[in-house]
Structures are given as C-alpha cells and as structure tokens.
Structure 1
Amino acid sequence: MENIAKKLNESAPELLIKKNESLAKYTYTKTGGNADLFVMPKTTEEVQSVVQFCSEESVPLTILGNGSNLIVKDGGIRGIVLYLDLLNTVYREDTMIYAGSGAKLIDVSRFARDESLTGLEFACGIPGSVGGALYMNAGAYGGEISDCLHKATVLTTKGELLHLERADLAAKYRHSTVAEKKLYCSRSSVSIRAFRKTTHRSKDGRTDRSTRIETTA
C-alpha cells in the first residue's frame, strides 16, 4: 500500500493519512485489527478526492463514522478506511440545523435543545454519527432521522455530488436510498430541520424531556 499512499498524498497533499492503523481505537467495542490506510478528511473536497481516487485506482474503500454499530475482524480492513470524525461542524440558520456527516447525533440533538429548537429529542440517546443516521434512517422513541431531514448532499461511489431532498431518501424502517445506492454522506451538507415548538412549553420543559430520554437510554 506504500505506492497507493504516495499517490493519494500527491492528489491531496493536506490529507491526514496513517498507515497500518489499529481500528480498535475508533470503535465502541475497542476490538479489531488494522486498516492498511486510515484517512481522515477535514473537508468535503478531501472526501470527494479520496472517493474519486479509490474509484479510479480500484482501491477498496470503507467508510467509518462513530464506530458505535461496528465490530472489526482481527484481520483488519484492506484498502482505505475513510474516517469522518473530523467532519463535525454543527451550526444553525434560523430554524435549520446544519451538521457534518461526522458530527455525533447526540451532540446535534443537544445543540438543538440548547438553541431552543425541537424535533431532535428522539436522537439524544443514539450513539451514532449524522452520516450513519442518514444511511440507516436511525431512530428511537417514536422518531427517526427522516422525520426531520430537510436535505442532504451525498457522494456516489465515483465521487459525484448529489443533492437529496427529503422525498428522495425513500426512507423505511432502518433503511434509506443512501444505503440502497451505496452513497456517502459529505460534510456540512446534511441539514436537519428542528422546528420551533408550536405549543407553549417552556425551555425548561424541553430540557427536561431530553434529560429524561437520555437517562433511560
């Protein structure tokens, strides 16, 4: 993989690349072997560059999010593991929350609570990333990500950008178009609509609800 690492670095000089990296450090179970190349993009452009590189060079590509629903075999993973943890930007515009694919869903839910927005309370106990949640239409406590998704920008396996509206997600129970078509979620491209409450519940009431769910999760 030495030659692959060199070529990848030439195509994206700022990319963080680790060789023969233990994946046990990046999963909840703290088990598993090594990745041939462990790549940590910081921008959507870097993600796109890696995906295009793997497509053109026929290099196996595995996407790793929060590692909360994953067990890596002792033999590790061949090719490139693309770790999205650094794509964790979360910000608000009016009643819309924009989150990078590597942002933790729990953190986004708490951000919505702190901003006095509602719609993401169900996610405050889900230990996954925004990208992973979109991929499998994650949910709990009667809610799921497709209920509050507004739009998303994803990548095809060839590195082409696609813009999905909520209807394009074709969401079902723990399933979405993203998984079906093997698409990759990119940074700062998932906008989660957290609506203001239509009732007169106080801010303390919202906080209490989130706390209650977190305690039972």
Structure 2
Amino acid sequence: MELVQELINLKVGRVIPNVSLKEYTTYRIGGTARVLVFIDSIDSLKKLLQFLRKNQIKHKILGNGSNLIFKDGLYNGVLIRLTDLNHMEIRGTEIEVEAGYSLQKLALKAAKASLTGLEFAAGIPGTVGGAIFMNAGAYKSDMGYIVRCVTMLDENLEVKTITNKECNFHYRTSYFKEHPNCVCLSAILTLNKGMSQAILAVMEDRKTRRVLSQPLEYPSAGSVFRNPEGDYAGRLIESLGYKGKLFGGAMVSEKHANFIINKENAKASDVITLIYDIQKNVKKTYGIDLKLEQEIVE
C-alpha cells in the first residue's frame, strides 16, 4: 500500500487501489489493476506522470476502456483515467473539448446545436481523447475530418498544440498511437452548420442499423480487426465459418463476424485465444495479416 499512499500524498485526484478491470472496460473482462487514479486537472496529470516516470512505475492512460483488452491477473501498475477532464464549449461552428468528454454525448450536443460532421461518432462508446488516439470513425468519416488542432502533453511533459496535419491521421491511427508517451488533453473540432432535426434523424437511422447489424446487447469492444485494404475483416472471418464460434465465455458474434462478445463470464484469455485463432486461419487461407483495431494490454 506504500505506492497508494504516495499517490494520495501527491494530491492529483481520486486514488483507488485494487480495481477490477471488468468495471472499467466495455468487454467486462480482465483482472485487477494495482491502482487507478482519476486525474482532476492537467497540472495534476503532469505531476503524476513526472512521479511515475521518475520511479519507473508502469502506467497507462485509460479513457472509457472501449478499445482495450486487459489480460487476466494483475496489471502491476497505475491506470490514469481522464474522464474528469470533460469541459466542452461550442463557439460558432467550432467545439473546444477536453479529452475525457464522451464522444457519443458530444455528437448529440453538436446535433442539438445544429452542427453537422459528428454524426459518425454517435455509436462510438469512447472518449474524445481515445477517438483521436485511434482516429475513430464510421460511415466513411473519422476524427481526421473534423479535428482542427490538438493540445497535448509531449514526451517532455510540455503542453503543446499541433495541427491536423501534424496529428498524422490515417485509417485507425494517428500521431498519438505512434507516440504513446504523448497525451491528448483537448481538441478544437471544426464542424458545419446544418439542420438539427435532419442531423438527429441521420443519427437515429444509424442507431437502428447498428442495433440490427451489431451485437450491442452483449459486452464487447467494437470491431476487433481493422479492415484490410480492399476487403472487410468481417467477410473474411465469416467465410471461414467463425460466426457463433465459442471459446470459454467468449464468442464470435452471430450478427457481425468482426465482433467478439463476452457471451457469459468470459476471461480475457478466451477473447485473446479467439483473436489469435482467427488471425492464424485468415493468414493461412488468404495470406492476409489481420491487424488488431483493439489493444491487448500486458
């Protein structure tokens, strides 16, 4: 408990020891984290990261846990949650928003303010920071289309603002994925004026389509694999007969083959076993290396 007390003494936010990762990931799987810290300010984040780096303590930034697979057992480090960094302000056609703000909530706020451009985000369960990190997207749009600039902590823990171009957005990746020691703090998004009712109607239509095509009734972390160029991961997986395949408590969705669901008290190892089996057989059959859209955390 010495580390816990040291973190409490730093006064950087709420400190919770021995946290079940099932409560903080959308898969509802994983073991226990040694410590979870809810950061209360950017200064607190800098202070905490300085302490962790100085003492060589393993750590990871955690948003909504909507794209992560924590292994079973102990995560022997500190998880840092940014969900208390959640200020948002709409100014004309621009939105300034902190990294911990809910992406789904932001899409709804934008729609009600008659701003179009965020409709794709209505069904993405992560935070703004997580969405920028992986350049989240759907319906042929993504964060790269709407981010004007991002304020971050760089590798030296200095606050710095970078442009859209410097964010290096590409399909499901960004500057932040390439530089994991940098932390997204906030962003300015540029949207366009639209008709609120029309925008909300588009979002409702897409919600209906998601309910029909995705296993939203079970815990998951969305799409497991990135689509390979010129094809769809779901099509490849389905062609090999994986729909409905069970391993332990995890199952390849019968609705969409690129989703693995927590069918019944799954372990992280169940999900990971299915992932590796799919990758192996897609490679063997098609010569294609399926790349994870999700992240397995050691």
Partner of 2:183: 184
SS of residue in 2 equivalent to 1:71 = strand
Q: Is the 8 A contact 2:63 2:100 kept in 1?
A: yes
Name the aligned partner's letter for residue 7 of structure 1: E
Give the superposition deviation at 1:80. 0.6
Matched, 1:165 2:163: yes
Partner of 2:19: 21
Which 4+ runs in 1 deviate beyond 4 A?
Answer: none
Q: Is the 8 A contact 2:149 2:188 kept in 1?
A: yes
Q: Which runs of 5+ in 1 are unaligned?
A: none
Equivalent residues in 2 for 1:1-217 (5 A)?
Answer: 2-11=1-10, 13-182=11-180, 183-186=182-185, 189-197=186-194, 202-217=195-210
Q: Is the 8 A contact 1:16 1:39 kept in 2?
A: yes
When normalised by structure 1's length, the TM-score is 0.90
Q: Is the 8 A contact 1:55 1:158 kept in 2?
A: no
Q: Is the 8 A contact 2:113 2:196 kept in 1?
A: no
SS of residue in 1 equivalent to 2:26 = coil
Larger RCO, structures 1/2 (Cα 8 Å, 6+ apart): 1
How many positions carry a matched residue from both structures?
209
Give the superposition deviation at 1:74. 1.4
Bigger CA drift: 173-182 or 204-213? 204-213
Bigger CA drift: 149-158 or 126-135? 149-158
Q: 1:36 to 1:193 in 2, by over 3 A?
A: same
Give the superposition deviation at 1:158. 4.1
Structure of higher CA gyration radius = 2
Query: Identity rate of aligned residues, in percent?
Result: 31
SS of residue in 1 equivalent to 2:69 = coil
Give the superposition deviation at 1:71. 1.9
Aligned Cα root-mean-square deviation (Å): 1.5
Report Cα offsets for 1:46-73 as digits up to 9, x if no partner: 2222112111111111111111122221
Bigger CA drift: 152-161 or 22-31? 152-161
When normalised by structure 2's length, the TM-score is 0.67
SS of residue in 2 equivalent to 1:204 = helix
For residues 77 and 102 of structure 1, the distance between their equivalents in structure 2, rounded to whole angstroms, comes to 22
